[in-house]
Amino acid sequence: MDEHKENIHGQEDNVKTSSVNEHEKEKPSSRLCPVEESAPQVSPSQSKGDFSHPVYKEIALANGHINRMTKEELRIKLAELKLDTRGVKDVMKKRLKSHYKKQKLMQTAAEGGPTDTYYDYICVVDFEATCEEDNPSDFLHEIIEFPMVLINTHNLEIVDTFQEYVKPELNPQLSDFCVKLTGITQKMVDEADPFPVVLQRVVSWLQERELGTKYKYAILTDGSWDMSKFLNIQCRVSRIKYPPFAKKWINIRKSYGNFYKVPRTQTKLSTMLEKLGLTYEGRPHSGLDDSRNIARIAVRMLQDGCQLRVNERMHGGQLLSVPSSAPVEGAPPPHNPRSRD
C-alpha cells in the first residue's frame, strides 16, 4: 500500500520523527539454503574508511571511462559480460561500475586485500493496515496482514516466505475502501488471530531459521511507515512492547536513492521497478506480493553491487536516521512478545 502510505505519512501524530536525509503464493519452505561459511568479512582498514589501497585508484579510472560511455555502448558491454541490459542509462552505468568494482575487490581479496560483506539474510516486511479513504488525523491504523519475504544475500535468491492475516481490535469492521485497496476481505480478518498471537508465530518462524543466532540478518522495508508508524501503533494498541528485532531496518527507498543517485520522487515502488527494467508481479497492495516485489528490487540492487545496510531505527518512540559511519550490526535474536503491563 505504498501510495496510500504516502497519503498518510504527513498525518503522523503518533510517532515523532527527526529530520532524516532522504538520500542517505508459494508455500514457505521449512529449511534455508545453506550460507557459505567462508563469506569474506570487512577488513579493518576498510571499516575505518581507508581507501588508500591501489585497487581503488584502478576502480576510479574505470568509473571515469564508464561515465563517458553512451547508452548503447553500456548495453553492448553489459551483454558481453552476460549482465542484465535492462534499465535506464544511469542504472546500467551503476551496474557496470559495480561489476568491475566487485571483480577487482574479489581479485584483491584473494591476494589478501580489502573486501566487504554484511548480512546473511534480509527479511522484507510490508504490512497492510486498516484505513479509510480520507483518514482522520487521529486514525489508528491496525495491521491486518503480516508478510515476510526472506532473501539469501549469498546466492541472491528469495528462499522463504511467511504470511498471516490479523484480526483488528479497535476497528474490527474493514472499510469498503480498505477491502478494495488491499483485497483483504472481512472474512479473512474475522477468522484471523489477534496481533500478539501472529507476532509470536513470526518470532517462531525467524527462530526456526536461526536468524540472529547462527545467521546475521536485517529487516528491510519500503519506506519508514511500516516500523515507525504501523508496528509502533499496533504494539500500543495490543499493549505489548515494541519487538527489539524490528528497532533497526533498511529503508530501501533511501538505499535506492543513494545508490543510483536519484531524488526521493523516484523511489516509489512502481518507479523503482520501472527504472530497473522490471514489472510488478502479483496484486498491488497485497502485503505478500508487495514484499516479493520489494525483494526483487533488493536482489537487483545487490546484483548491481549495492551494500544494503541498516539506515533507520526507532529510539524512545522516535524515528531516527542511522549514519553510514555507524558499525554494521545484524538484528538481535527474536523473542516472544512482552506485555507493557
Catalytic-residue membership of 141: no
10-residue averages of pLDDT along the chain (341 residues): 56 40 40 43 42 71 87 90 90 86 65 60 98 90 98 95 98 97 98 98 98 97 97 97 97 96 93 96 97 97 91 94 90 94 75
The catalytically annotated residue of 4, 99, 141, 285 is 285
Question: Which residues are CB-neighbours of 75 under 8 A, at least 6 positions away?
Answer: 85, 92
285 assigned to active site: yes
Of 235, 244, 245, whose CA–CA distance to 211 is shortest? 245
| Grid cell at residue 267 | 523511489
Strands, E assignment, the chain: 16-17, 121-125, 128-129, 143-152, 157-165, 217-221, 248-251, 312-315, 318-321
In whole angstroms, give the CA distance from residue 210 to residue 203.
11
> How much is the pLDDT for 45?
39
**Which of 158, 292, 152, 161 has the alpha carbon at shortest distance from 217?**
152
CB 310 within 8 A of CB 322: yes
Burial tier of 23 (Cβ tally within 10 Å: 0-12, 13-18, 19+): middle
- Per annotation, catalytic residue among 4, 128, 141, 164: 128
CA–CA distance, 94 with 166 (Å, rounded to integer): 40
How does pLDDT run across 171-189, given as a tens digit for each residue?
A: 999 999 999 999 999 999 9
Residue 16 confidence (pLDDT): 37
Confidence at residue 32, expressed as pLDDT on a 0 to 100 scale: 55
- Secondary structure class of 189 (helix, strand, coil): helix
- Give dist(CA 129, CA 182) in Å, integer: 9
Q: Residue 68: count other Cβ atoms within 10 Å of its Cβ.
A: 7
